[in-house]
Chains A and B, each alone.
Chain A
Amino acid sequence: MTPGPDGRIRPHIFVVWVEDLPGVLNRVTSLFRRRGFNIESLSVGPARAPGVSRMTIVVRTDATTARRMRVQLSRLVNVLRADDITNEPAIHHELAMFKIQATGEERTQVIQLAGATGARLVDIAPESVVLEATASPQKIDGLAEVLRPYGIVEQVRTGLVGMARGAASVMTDPDARKPPKRRRSAPDESGGSHSV
């Protein structure tokens, strides 16, 4: 991609709160697709408030484009809020699992490494072990580097999730609209303010 006027391209971390409705993920990613961005990671899960999902999206771009993306995201009808937390003091973590084919002495070494790096041993099979770690992407990269000589046969990383530090968080989860009432019950003859 072409850099904008204030040039430097680096990963930008967007936190996006959306109404938990079908198709909303598509609306969000469509904005990035349209500009030809490759989303480096994206994670979605329920936010604090019911009916709200929280996404963390990492995209490499420059500051100008990131600002524009944030406004474009905010403009989507189902987006409750979009923040670029790249420069916020925040905890950025991801979860990774590595399956390593190891037996005998190597296996012992891998398990020791796990202990030393804070990774957890979550599965032991006759021919393999699975390690799980939650840490910053850089630390996960480091762990992968250390494990590589033992033979990683499978890995999965969730992509980054972020949360601002401290109590005065700017990122209090917004509320979604009230969940729709089931309209099937009790037909109402009096009608609302605009009844048809």
Chain B
Amino acid sequence: MTKRWRRTGAQLIWETLLGEGVHTVFGYPGGAILPAYDAMLDYPIRHILVRHEQGATHMADGYSRASGEVGVAVATSGPGATNMVTGIATAMLDSSPIVCVTGQVGSALIGTDAFQETDVTGVTLPITKHNYLVTEVDEIAPALHEAFYVARSGRPGPVLVDITKDAQQAFTEARPRLGKVDLPGYRPEPRPPETELRRAAELINRAERPVILAGHGILLSGAMGQVRELAERARIPIAMTLLGIGAIPANHSLNMGMMGMHGESWVNQAIQEADLLLALGMRFDDRVTGSLKTYAPNAAKIHIDIDPAEFNKNVRVDVALAGDLSAVLAHLLPVIEARDRSEWLGTIRGFKGDTAVRDIQNLPDMGKLYAAHVIHDIWRMTGGKAIVTTDVGQHQMWEAQYYRHNEPRTLITSGGLGTMGFALPAAVGAKVARPDDEVWVIAGDGGFQMTMCELATIAQERLKLNVAIINNGYLGMVRQWQEFFYDRRYAGTPILSPDFAALARSFGLGGEVVKSRQDVEGAVERARADERTVVLDFQVEKEDTVYPMVPTGARLQDMIRRPGQDGDGDPESEEEPVAAGRTVEW
């Protein structure tokens, strides 16, 4: 007689995860998830113990953004789950597919204010793509299977599965049959009508001054090659969103650089002068449009996005094509005509002419250390090949401006939610996903202190990262706004930090303080050579400012430029990764 198939819910959690291709989870145990943790030991799962559940979600997110796979975070009920909220919201706003598995108190205790009970599906309802409360052992596998499908299909996003302790403990003899997910109301991949595709093609072929707005959707759809093909054939210049960076190589001749609030002035000018905007997997966030009333006033707008809810949300568009970008471009590309458009490209070079190039290798430092120096040097020394994670703020914008990404999925940053403390845990996830790649954390002194406890996780897991803290003693971006818009009243922005290098050493990691330009190279070199994670505390100029800047609600072309800019940059040098001897906008 053969032995009957018999499993606990806890076992089914891991068997379903393995079936979804998961081998690593980021988590923190606790009472309500204990049965799952106990069962975990019998499965080939790598568990990375985090120091705070927010870290687990950011790690899952970083894992996902580095690999394109679904990242998984595990936590217990109550505080374990509520600690995940920031990471879930971060993943939601940046369309990052993660699955969070949380333990819940026993089903009989739900609603009794039991120890560590929280209505987690209620709390996370508006910040998840979907969520599940599972109280029956036989629902565990189907719910998890559906969760992975929902997380990764259509516009990706976070999905949470809350599983009661009794469901984890219960036995079942019903082997789950997980076939095709049956969700009749869920249509993840719409297809645009033929007529709209034709209209789009006509607009593109007819346009004299088109600009491609390249967003995160290109990476999520894997449409990098097709976007390049489109741009190259029709000779259309490309403007990048923050999350689009890497989708088109920074050194591509048609890649103008980043648009928006801290984008390049010529990019914003090109957008404002365009007669056609072709928005690819981006959502016209307020940080890229400036004032909506004056945004690209003469441009027809084509919007391709997988989520129809993005159409006409902020910017009225002429043609909206709902669908997976790669699939839509497969239909569109055959009817796009080869064009020259050298006049328009020449005009854009003209816009650029009076603006400096961001090459600062030989910038006179006047004995000071600027964040741009640091990031530029890290870029040079890593050959532009590292995966870089950032928080939000000044350092994030400087990274986007001075680290030139030529590869997809090499900039991992919290764009939509703008989450401080994202960079360090996200880097852990990225490193776990791509162990052979060099990973750099670039964070501010403020954000780093929000999740620096994860240094212990890094030490315990023996992960090799490099951490650059852009330490200016202020919450820099907030200070910058206070400088510009609040009469330099620095309320709550001066921040004291510990000795980060000593702190790192206390975790058994490497640490070094860098105060001057000539020490940057050596420190970066030593960090890279060290087999441990090394934290470099770059003590930079305190009141440095991110230029240029479009003030909130202003016209995109009205950028605040760096005072005293002499405008002698050479627009031709942009192709060279390391151009020598030029002064830039300081």
- Residues on A lying within 8 angstroms of B by beta carbon are 17-19, 22-23, 26-27, 30, 34, 64, 67-68, 71-72, 74-81, 174-178, 180, 183-189, 191-196
Contact = CB atoms under 8 A, between A and B. Distances in A.
B15 interface: yes
A121 B129 CA distance: 49
Contacts of B19: 194, 196
Contacts, number: 97
Interface of B: 4-5, 12, 15-16, 18-19, 121-122, 125-126, 129-130, 133, 138, 141-142, 145, 150, 172-180, 182-186, 307-309, 311-313
Contacts of A186: 174
B309 A75 contact: yes
Contacts of A187: 4-5, 173-175
Q: Which of B141, B177, B182, B184 has its CB near the most chain A CB atoms (within 10 A)?
A: B184
A189 B5 contact: yes
Contact of A191 (B125, B172, B175): B175
A186 B178 CA distance: 16
A28 B554 CA distance: 35
B183 A184 contact: no
Contacts of B12: 196
A65 B59 CA distance: 36
Nearest to B146: A77
A30 B126 contact: yes
A77 B126 contact: no
A195 B177 contact: yes
19 contacts: A19-B185, A23-B125, A68-B309, A75-B309, A76-B185, A77-B129, A77-B183, A77-B186, A79-B185, A80-B185, A175-B184, A177-B182, A183-B172, A184-B138, A191-B175, A192-B177, A193-B180, A195-B178, A196-B18
A134 to B, nearest CB: 30
A80 B185 CA distance: 4
Contacts of A71: 308-309, 311
Contacts of B5: 187, 189
B176 A183 contact: yes
B125 A27 contact: yes
B314 to A, nearest CB: 11
B312 to A, nearest CB: 8
Main secondary structure of the interface of A (DSSP, over half): loop
A193 B184 contact: no
Given A78-B185, A81-B185, 6 more contacts: A23-B121, A71-B309, A77-B183, A187-B174, A191-B177, A196-B19
Contacts of B179: 192-194
B141 A196 contact: yes
A26 B311 CA distance: 25
List the 5 closest A-B pairs by CB distance, nearest first.
Answer: A192-B177, A183-B174, A196-B15, A194-B178, A80-B185
Nearest to B185: A80
A68 B313 contact: yes
B125 A195 contact: no
A196 B182 contact: no
Contacts of B126: 30, 34
Nearest to B178: A194
A32 to B, nearest CB: 12
A188 B176 CA distance: 8
A196 B121 contact: no
B125 A185 contact: no
A19 B184 contact: yes
B122 A26 contact: yes
A18 B5 CA distance: 36
B101 to A, nearest CB: 15
Contacts of A26: 122, 125
Q: Which of A18, A23, A67 has its CB near the most chain B CB atoms (within 10 A)?
A: A23
Nearest to B125: A30
A68 B308 CA distance: 10
Contacts of A185: 174
B264 to A, nearest CB: 30
Contacts of B138: 183-184
A23 B133 contact: yes
Contacts of A194: 19, 145, 177-179
Nearest to B313: A68
Contacts of B121: 23
Contacts of A76: 185
Given A184-B138, A191-B177, A72 B309 contact: yes
A127 B193 CA distance: 65
B178 A192 contact: yes
Nearest to A67: B312
Nearest to A27: B125
A77 B130 contact: yes
A178 B142 CA distance: 14
A178 B182 contact: yes
A105 to B, nearest CB: 52
